[in-house]
Chain A
């Protein structure tokens, strides 16, 4: 496990609920990923209802929490247990992101557990008893879902739509156990509270349980941000707030995602119709071949790697890795955009990190406010994610167009490189934040740091979801290629 967890277990009493939970939850994931039928949807819909109500609760007030800090400290062992049970499930990206979160915050001079617990209280993470109750409930639902599965498989009325959702659902559970499912298990309530500060996240969560497409989710998040901005403007207290969703759209991320979804959906229905036209050995044979492709998408294991934040200061290493991964694929123009975005981000970071003494002229060198650093971080994450989605969209077009063979391993390697970059940048930015906010109180700085890590985790999830959307595209491309020789 990551640094975060090791550190945590050092500072806490023996975790109780924590270690028992993971196997159950992990077991549950694959089962869940294959369901997406209407009965299940009804189940979850009912389940979600209280969450919606809860949304109307008053905002969590970090200020009051800060005042109550000593009191909270008494409950430390308890909260730490929660964190082990919850954060422990973060996939490698989430985990490494989180471990830096704790490391970064620790350097500010705050206790590690306190920092985590602060993040938790502000996120409204439930107590261990709630968590275990949640887990039990999840299990029950799982059982229900499994029974529902049988009938669902037969009545595929919703056809390609549901299977698309299942593709999206399985994402992050199979590829990289992303931050999402971790949070899912912390408790549905949590998601709701997080959503207050991060609309996209809530939507992503909803994506997992309803027939909503990823681009819809992002669009709705963006729309709400636009509304909020409009409200703020009218209140004439326009602060420097970064809106991930709006920025993502600004970089045409939504459009590329929508286009990618269209191609994915069409390919999927083509694959289905080919399968229904076959029977006997032919069908078995093709099924087996397609399963191989599916496997290469789901069996990707991303090794957990401690990324040094000092690494790749100018973004050239990212460029090299990306170019290497893309070798032989004709999408250079798009990759250039990505590299450029990354390089400009890196130089921005270098700029923000420059010690004040270095400045020749005091007037020229100014101190970056934490809000500015935060805004820069969110913008960069949104841009890189949008460009990554664009890359996957272009790859999809290229695969469909060229009829050449494309290995899923190439695509997963690209995903690795992109997600690693997101993780690295989030670390660089939070370290920047820590420097810029060295005089700020924790309740100002911590939400910003948490925000950057959350958006980074979202970014990684979006990229992985986009990667998964390529599965049916490789499948149909495979079918077309195997059909060619026999026709000639």
Chain B
């Protein structure tokens, strides 16, 4: 299917059910056990403002040992879902994750903080704490459940809306693919890029 924009997302955070969130979003199902991989991919089409937007999601491993590799994948993402599982430990690690993400991605990247409450019975972090952390660091915030699918759609879509707004405001240079945004095939500017100047090509490549 043709799309107006493609947004690249990364999902980061400790081992807190990130893959479950992705699977719930792409396949609408819950499956607790996953293969341990450094990065897995998912994709889904959504609609914002009447426009088809394709989300290409890079789901990265939470293990510290893989960090040196997963960091490489941050660059060129338009959005990030930073996930903790409402336990104290994973919440405490958020600062490190955030620093890491900010350092290795572009400054305009939209970050959504997600408290995944699949472990509601073991909750140690109140929703308000998450909200406060998000406010302090300029993130969007939501509590979701991959198990019940609660707020999962919203988390992915709200992030996209924020990115979309930034595009409208001109914050994102959509011709620079390093921003994690690609223009879809039917968009008029695409044609000019395709048929047109070598300059455009090189500008796009040069910034990577």
Q: Which of B41, B65, B198 contacts A210 (CB 8 A)?
A: B198
Residues of B within 8 A of A401 (CB): 38, 65-66, 69
Binds B, one of A216-224, A281-289, A298-306, A448-456: A216-224
Closest to A265 in B: B208
Residues of B within 8 A of A262 (CB): 72-73, 75-76
Contact A211 B205 (CB under 8 A): yes
Q: Is the CB of B41 within 8 A of A255?
A: yes
Within residues 38 to 67 of chain B, which ones have a CB less than 8 A from any CB in chain A?
Answer: 38-39, 41, 43, 56, 58, 65-66
The chain A residue with its CB closest to the CB of B204 is A216
Does B192 count as interface, using CB distance less than 8 angstroms? no
> A394: which B residues are within 8 A, CB to CB?
37-38
Taking a contact as CB atoms under 8 Å apart, the answer to whether A259 and B205 are in contact is no
B183: nearest residue on chain A (CB-CB)? A223
Measured CA separation A210–B193 after assembly (Å): 14
Assess whether A266 is in contact with B194, with CB atoms less than 8 Å apart. Answer: no
**Interface residue B182 (Cβ < 8 Å from any Cβ of A):** yes
Taking the closest CB of chain B, its distance from the CB of A221, in whole angstroms, is: 10
A211 contact set on B, CB distance < 8 A: 201-202, 205-206
Which of under 10, 10 to 19, 20 to 34, or 35 or more describes the interface residues of B? 20 to 34
Verify if B189 is at the interface (C-beta below 8 Å from A). no
Closest residue on chain B to residue A219 by CB atoms: B182
Please judge, given known A-B contacts A45-B198, A210-B201, A265-B208, whether A226 and B1 are in contact too, CB under 8 Å: yes
Residues of B within 8 A of A265 (CB): 208
Question: How far, in Å, is B58 (CB) from chain A's closest CB?
Answer: 7
Q: Taking the nearest CB of chain A, how far is it from the CB of B177, in angstroms?
A: 8
A52 CB within 8 Å of chain B: yes
What is the distance, in angstroms, from B122's C-beta to the closest C-beta of chain A?
30
B190 adjacent to chain A (CB < 8 Å):
yes
Distance from B204 Cβ to chain A, minimum over Cβ atoms (Å):
8
Chain B residues, CB < 8 A from A41: 198, 202
Q: Is the CB of B69 within 8 A of A213?
A: no
Contact with A along B169-208 (1 / 0, CB 8 A): 0000000010000101110001000110010011001101
A103 CB–B CB distance under 8 Å: no
List which A169-210 residues lie within 8 A (CB) of chain B.
210
Instruction: Verify if A397 is at the interface (C-beta below 8 Å from B).
Output: yes
A227→B185 contact, CB < 8 A: yes
Q: Is the CB of A213 within 8 A of B56?
A: no
Taking CB atoms, residues of chain B closer than 8 Å to A397 are 38-39, 69
Contact yes or no, A227 B208, CB < 8 A: no
Task: Name the interface residues of A147-169: CB closer than 8 Å to any CB of B.
Answer: 158, 161
With A223-B190, A230-B2 already in contact, the answer to whether A400 and B41 are too (CB < 8 A) is: no
Task: Write the chain A residue with the least CB distance to B202.
Answer: A211
Q: Encode contact with B along A212-243: 1 for CB under 8 Å, 0 otherwise.
A: 11001001100110110110000000000000
Q: Is B35 an interface residue (CB 8 A)?
A: yes
Asked whether B73 lies within 8 Å of A259 as measured between CB atoms, the reply is yes
Interface string of B5-29 (1 = CB under 8 A from A): 0000000000000000000000000
Verify B72–A266 contact, CB threshold 8 A. Answer: yes
**How many angstroms between the C-alpha atoms of A219 and B184 in the bound complex?**
10
A230 close to B186 (CB less than 8 A): yes
Chain B residues near A256 (CB-CB < 8 A) = 41
Kindly list the 10 A-B residue pairs having the minimum CB-CB distance in the complex, ordered from nearest.
A223-B185, A255-B41, A227-B185, A211-B205, A226-B2, A252-B41, A397-B38, A230-B2, A45-B198, A266-B72
The 13 sampled A-B contact pairs (Cβ below 8 Å) are A41-B198, A161-B206, A161-B208, A211-B202, A223-B185, A224-B185, A227-B185, A229-B2, A252-B41, A259-B58, A263-B72, A265-B208, A266-B72
Q: Contacts A158-B206, A259-B73, A400-B69 given; 15 further ones with Cβ under 8 A?
A: A161-B206, A161-B208, A223-B2, A226-B1, A227-B186, A230-B2, A256-B41, A259-B58, A263-B69, A265-B208, A394-B37, A397-B38, A397-B69, A400-B68, A401-B38
